[in-house]
A and B are shown apart, each in its own frame.
Chain A
């Protein structure tokens, strides 16, 4: 029997549904997640199954959504809060960074803040500078948070289930361009542990380290490179924090060349952390300096031709790979 294929959005919805069925302390809270089904349709049908007590539509109040999730978590609930666009994380940054992330530590290790903050990120939909952000690097820098960025439907489902069961606040970044992408997802129950990356394609000539949308593009680039006889290994870190350092390092030790591909602006983003890690811990294995391929230094522009240019595309990854191989 051929393996079942569903979309990334459907995979996320399945994870939510399964965890809500299993654990009565799981509930959803956010804007337009009920009858509307979420701005990207991810929560469609959940209101009908679980009712308004567990699929809670709120006024436009990001600070109160996150605060409410934190307060409920302190009483043992496991809220999943949807922040409609990743850019809106700035509206509730105090609650996430100063409260959710720090409370357990500041209360002497006593509280459990078990929350998932789901949010659609990334450019490519023509939504311009206020609805296209990729701010995951900010949150990956905060001790107390976990940051997850799945690239496939299979990973999205398995990682979200683990995130909901985790006793810590988890930022769950969903790339908008992946929502409609289909992939194999088994009917049976499974989870993927946070902090474990995956080699998505094996190769020997260079390592491409990526997460979220750039994994997909790197795989396409690797396919094109393979036609030219170049075998690129694509490492999907899947979780930014905690980071699976070993999967990156062991690949680089094998291929001796590393290209880090990420959507946020090149300067100061999480890709720099990966580059630093490789330089620190695999320097002796490198045949060339670590190369970073990040986004351009500008807010996401509206014009589709310009918008496409700001984030690394397949052809950019191919080009960078050749440069790296020749250096």
Chain B
């Protein structure tokens, strides 16, 4: 049972993700961040609910749309923002950027720019957990697009036959870049695929942080007690485009509007108010999230650039 204190932590995590993404977008528009990135706005309930089902020593693997996973796993937003600005103080010394943040000490085994490629790596981490008998679980985030890669099939099957402690969390945001799930899948729910691997599968409302939490918690417990993997599909929606190059021609304004009405943060806020949390408490958290992100932006802006010779020394161990 979640205590109100835990729920407030969840709410704060969601706020932090939202504010991080909004500020990153502003900085991009202002030319302070370059390259591209994939914003998590709208999907905050998934990373938050799922990561709250983990113990601190558990692991995650992430995706190209990974800022939310990173924050929900407990990353330092200062080092994240510094990474987005390509600074030496970033998680990856400015060499990975938005799509490749890893926080190994914090249990985030890294994001990847190749769709689906982290799924086998999550399985390997789970294999190591089993060999090391450390009682840890790996939570593997991936999207609907990744569910159609060969890596998904090989990795989920291997985890299933070896009964590895891994939870496959499919963030189904209904589009693989522009390609809609209705065209990419001949089945209504991606979680149905679980049956083909002999593992449990469940579809949850990814706009409801508590639903994601409950489903993931059950899957994590199964994994930890040796029953092997579960496929959890969280139905969600990204409010922004796929990346910064997206002109938004494949979704209707009405559809986007409809999903924005279901904003996971608004919804959870209403839930907390209904549970008797004073509005002032929520406002305090909102202010705190804003302040933390501002501090992160300042830290990143003032941080030094990475050094080429030092980077060269990082190719080999």
Q: Is A268 interfacial (CB-CB < 8 Å)? A: no
The reply to whether the CB of A106 lies closer than 8 angstroms to some CB of chain B is yes
B74 at the A interface (CB under 8 A) = no
Within 8 A of A (CB), among B71-112: 90-96, 100, 102, 104, 109-110, 112
Is B180 engaged at the interface, CB distance under 8 Å to the other chain?
Answer: no
B94 — which chain A residues lie within 8 A by C-beta? Answer: 108
Nearest A residue to B140 by beta-carbon distance? A71
- Knowing A63-B155, A107-B96, the reply to whether A68 touches B123 (Cβ < 8 A) is yes
Decide: A75 and B120 in contact? CB cutoff 8 A: no
Q: What residue in chain B is nearest A75 (Cβ atoms)?
A: B128
List, in ascending order, chain A residues with CB within 8 A of B161's CB: 59
The answer to whether B154 has its CB under 8 Å from any CB of chain A is: yes
A68 to chain B, nearest CB (A): 4
Partner of A59, one of B90, B125, B158: B158
Q: How far is the CA of A266 from the CA of B304 in the complex (A)?
A: 46
Q: Which of B102-150 contact A (CB under 8 A)?
A: 102, 104, 109-110, 112-114, 117, 119-129, 131-132, 138, 150
Residue in B158, B315, B316 with the greatest tally of chain A CB atoms within 10 Å: B316
> Which of A54, A58, A114, A146 lies in contact with B158, CB distance below 8 A?
A58
Expressed in whole angstroms, the Cα–Cα distance for A67 and B100 within the complex equals: 16
B158 touches A72 (CB 8 A): no
Does A286 belong to the interface (CB within 8 Å)? no
A253 contacts partner chain B, Cβ-Cβ < 8 Å: no
Complex contacts, B126 vs chain A, CB 8 Å: 71
Kindly provide the distance from the CB of B167 to the nearest chain A CB, expressed in whole angstroms.
14
Residues B316 and A168 in contact, CB atoms below 8 Å apart: yes
Known: A67-B151, A75-B132. A104 touches B125 (CB 8 A): no
CB distance from B237 to the nearest CB of A (A): 28
Query: For the complex, is B258 an interface residue (Cβ under 8 Å from A)?
Result: no
A220, B281: Cα distance in complex, Å: 83
Say yes or no: B317 contacts A64, CB within 8 Å.
no
* Chain B hits for A79, CB < 8 A: 124
Of chain A, the residue at the smallest CB distance from B104 is A110
A11 at the interface (CB under 8 A from B): no
Which single residue of chain A is at the shortest CB-CB distance from B156?
Answer: A64
Q: How far, in Å, is A297 (CB) from chain B's closest CB?
A: 30
With an 8 A cutoff between CB atoms, is A144 at the interface? yes
B152 → A minimal CB distance (Å): 10
- B92 contact set on A, CB distance < 8 A: 106-108, 110
Number of A-B contacts (CB under 8 A): 150
Which A residues lie within 8 Å of B30 (CB)?
none
Interface of chain A: mostly helix, strand, loop or mixed? mixed
* Contact code string A199-223 (vs B, CB < 8 Å = 1, else 0): 0000000000000000000000000
Asked if B313 is at the interface of the complex by the 8 Å CB criterion, the answer is yes
Contacts of A64 in B (CB 8 A): 120, 123, 151, 154-155, 157-158
Q: Within residues 249 to 300 of chain A, which ones have a CB less than 8 A from any CB in chain B? A: none
The docked-state distance in angstroms from the alpha carbon of A7 to that of B119 is 38
Q: Does residue B314 face the partner (Cβ distance < 8 Å to A)?
A: yes
Contact indicator A108/B158 (Cβ below 8 Å): no
Of the listed residues B124, B128, B158, the one surrounded by the most CB atoms of chain A closer than 10 A to its CB is: B124
Whole-angstrom distance between the alpha carbons of A59 and B156 in the complex? 11
Question: Which positions 104-148 of chain A face chain B at CB distance < 8 Å?
Answer: 104-114, 143-144, 146
Whether the pair B124, A73 counts as a contact (CB closer than 8 A) is yes
Residue in B90, B123, B150, B314 whose CB lies within 8 Å of A71: B123
- C-alpha gap A109/B94 in the complex (Å): 11
A66 at the interface (CB under 8 A from B): yes
CA distance A110 to B79 in the complex (A): 14
Whether the pair A94, B114 counts as a contact (CB closer than 8 A) is: yes
* Interface membership of A159, Cβ < 8 A: no
Q: A99 within 8 Å of B by Cβ? A: yes
- For B100, list chain A residues within 8 Å (CB): 106-107
Partner of B102, one of A67, A71, A111: A111
Q: Is A167 an interface residue (CB 8 A)?
A: yes
Q: How far is the CB of A253 from chain B (nearest CB, A)?
A: 28
Give the residue name and chain of the A residue nearest to B114 (CB).
A98
A68:B124 contact, CB within 8 angstroms: yes
* Contact code string A57-101 (vs B, CB < 8 Å = 1, else 0): 011011110111111111111010000000000000011001100
Contact between A95 and B117 (Cβ–Cβ < 8 Å)? yes
Contact between chains at B314 and A109 (CB < 8 Å): yes
Would you call A189 an interface residue if the criterion is a C-beta within 8 Å of the partner chain's C-beta atoms? Answer: no
Asked whether B315 lies within 8 Å of A104 as measured between CB atoms, the reply is yes
A109 touches B313 (CB 8 A): yes
* Pair B124/A98 contact, Cβ less than 8 Å: no
**Residues in B neighbouring A69, C-beta threshold 8 A:** 124
B313: chain A residues at CB < 8 Å are 109
The answer to whether B121 touches A70, judged by C-beta atoms less than 8 angstroms apart, is yes
Q: Which residues of A contact B114 (CB under 8 A)?
A: 94, 98-99
Query: Do A168 and B317 touch across chains, with their CB atoms under 8 A apart?
Result: yes
* CB of B6, distance to nearest CB on chain A (Å): 28
Taking a contact as CB atoms under 8 Å apart, the answer to whether A72 and B124 are in contact is yes
CB pair A104–B316 under 8 Å, yes or no, is: yes
> Given the complex, which residues of A lie within 8 Å of B150, measured CB to CB?
63
Contacts of A108 in B (CB 8 A): 90-96, 314
Complex Cα distance, B123 from A107, in Å, reads 19
Contact A61–B158 (Cβ < 8 Å): yes
For residue B117, which residues in chain A have a CB less than 8 angstroms away from its CB? 67, 94-95, 98-99
> Which B residues have a C-beta under 8 Å from some C-beta of A?
59, 61, 90-96, 100, 102, 104, 109-110, 112-114, 117, 119-129, 131-132, 138, 150-151, 154-155, 157-158, 161, 311, 313-317
| Interface set of A (CB-CB < 8 Å, partner B) | 27, 53-54, 56, 58-59, 61-64, 66-77, 79, 94-95, 98-99, 103-114, 143-144, 146, 167-168
5 contacts between A and B (CB under 8 A): A64-B155, A71-B124, A79-B124, A108-B91, A144-B316
20 additional A-B pairs beyond A62-B154, A71-B61, A99-B114, beta carbons within 8 Å, are: A63-B151, A68-B123, A68-B158, A71-B120, A71-B123, A71-B125, A74-B110, A74-B128, A94-B114, A95-B117, A98-B112, A98-B117, A99-B117, A105-B314, A106-B92, A107-B91, A108-B91, A108-B93, A144-B316, A146-B316
